[in-house]
Structure 1
Amino acid sequence: MSSTEDYPESAAADSRTLADLDARLVSCRACPRLVAWREETALTKRAAFRDWEYWGRPVPGFGPANAPLVITGLAPAAHGANRTGRMFTGDQAGDLLFATLHEIGLASRPTATHLNDGLELYGVRVTSPVHCAPPANLPTTGERDTCRPWLARELRLLRPTARSVVVLGGFGWQAALPALRQAGWDLPRPRPPFGHGVRTALASTDGGTPPLTVFGCYHVSRRNVSTGRLTPAMLREVLVEAALTAGIPVVRPGAG
């Protein structure tokens, strides 16, 4: 295993399946600042989780390998996914995301607490452009770019079935668009700006797969939710639209 910045690119390129990609990803040590932070956090812990054995490694994506809908965020939370080892699991952002996915029939349960809690996603893959927890929840642009090969390869492997992508937050939007291009979709010029509820259709570069529709959504962060910038109804609306665009049937709350 290489500890240099070329590891993500070479290891991702050699991955032939999502399971192979995930196995290689969890060994990545390409970003020294992120490695130091994730491991320090795993040792010092938060008082409420002092009995936990933290994951303390890069966090892979989660969900079926033939998912028509992809949701990508920002990075693992220090005491959320960096603790549990699964995207959006164990923090308040995940509380809203998984509760909403369950509400519309795309998750087996409304809560996500640990790797063995029985949660399954139906037709949805959840991932991130940065796979290690960053200090203050803010990766640098260099760390984002170093980590990009993982997301680009993940999207490439999902390309036969992926029809919609929901991107959470402006940072995630800026990170996802280049990864989508590398994965085989054309980007319009100028690049579409981020905004909640925006959508843009991307054609595949070789015409081999149907267009991919990319949806923007405010991030499910505690701050956005507590200030009302993102409400459960706003999130639900985007997820329902993205799922239907991807050909996934949903449960409509209040229907029937």
Structure 2
Amino acid sequence: MTYPEERAAAAHDLAALGTALTDCRSCPRLVEWREEAARVKRRAFADWDYWARPVPGFGPTDARMLLVGLAPAAHGGNRTGRMFTGDRAGDVLVEALHALGLASRPHSVHRGDGLELRGVRCTAPVHCAPPANKPTPGERDTCRPWLARELELLRPTVRGIVALGAFGWQAVLPVLRAAGWTVPRPRPAFGHGARVLLPHSGDGPELTLHGCYHVSQQNTFTGKLTPAMLREVLGAAAEEAGIPLGRHRK
């Protein structure tokens, strides 16, 4: 067995999973890149002690909704050690969650900033920052046991998944199928606003998969994804997962 397979399977809860994940060095290209980013740094972050390790999922252990992105940014999550923290993509996502009452504050700056998520957990198919934000298929597959175990540990409560981007959508489908959820054939295509109801083949709960454009700067700066579009998908997914919204969608 590989390190991810062995250590993920042995994790008895999400805290143990995160601890095991942060020691992973299974993908040489990603290890080299994340550590190089920590050495070179950006001028704006010259005084930061970069995390430079795999970044675990973030959010409550009884989350009803799981947000699946792509991978940490070299100077975002790879710097701060928390998913969607320290970059513009994280700000856009957390602003939307806060507007819906799903986050305690509108900004995600560093691990000790007091941010708490309500009913929502953030994770990624690849837990190390990749060059050019593009993991290889092999790196995605090597990292898959971490996502599979995270979903397994969340199974008692999770009722919805929002895939932020096509990469997350395509990465989570085989994980869901392996965990017993019935994925239609042919596989449903990603799209913003896509919604697929997935029954469980055993005694597990139904789960709904939602598609949303990724909160990357490329999408948000060009208007491909607007704050209203993001809030609409997140709000609908949260309500369907049984999370009451604290504020009205605008």
TM-score (norm 1): 0.95
For 1:9 and 1:148, the matched residues in 2 are separated by: 8
Secondary structure, aligned partner of 2:209: strand
Q: 1:225 aligns with which of 214, 220, 228?
A: 220
1:96 and 2:73 are equivalent in the alignment = no
1:188 and 2:184 are equivalent in the alignment = yes
Secondary structure, aligned partner of 2:66: strand
TM-score (norm 2): 0.98
What is the match of residue 15 of structure 2? Answer: 19
Contact 2:231–2:249 (8 Å) recurs in 1: no
For 2:29 and 2:105, the matched residues in 1 are separated by: 35
Secondary structure, aligned partner of 1:243: helix
- In the TM superposition, residue 103 of structure 1 has moved relative to its aligned partner by 0.4
For 1:189 and 1:22, the matched residues in 2 are separated by: 33
1:141 and 2:143 are equivalent in the alignment = no
Secondary structure, aligned partner of 2:184: coil
Secondary structure, aligned partner of 2:163: strand
For 1:33 and 1:253, the matched residues in 2 are separated by: 41
Secondary structure, aligned partner of 2:244: coil
1:156 and 2:152 are equivalent in the alignment = yes
Gaps in structure 1 of 5+ consecutive residues? none
Question: What per-residue deviation string (whole Å, max 9, x for no partner) do you get for residues 178-221 of structure 1?
Answer: 12222332211111000000000111231x23210000000000
What is the match of residue 212 of structure 1? Answer: 207
Secondary structure, aligned partner of 1:71: strand
What is the match of residue 111 of structure 1? Answer: 107
Count of residues in correspondence between the two structures: 249
Instruction: Report % sequence identity.
Output: 65
Q: Which amino acid aligns with 1:246?
A: A
1:166 and 2:159 are equivalent in the alignment = no
Contact 2:235–2:249 (8 Å) recurs in 1: no
Secondary structure, aligned partner of 2:25: coil
Q: After the TM superposition, which parts of structure 1 deviate over 2 Å for at least 4 consecutive aligned residues?
A: none
Question: What per-residue deviation string (whole Å, max 9, x for no partner) do you get for residues 214-255 of structure 1?
Answer: 00000000000111110101000000000000010112145x
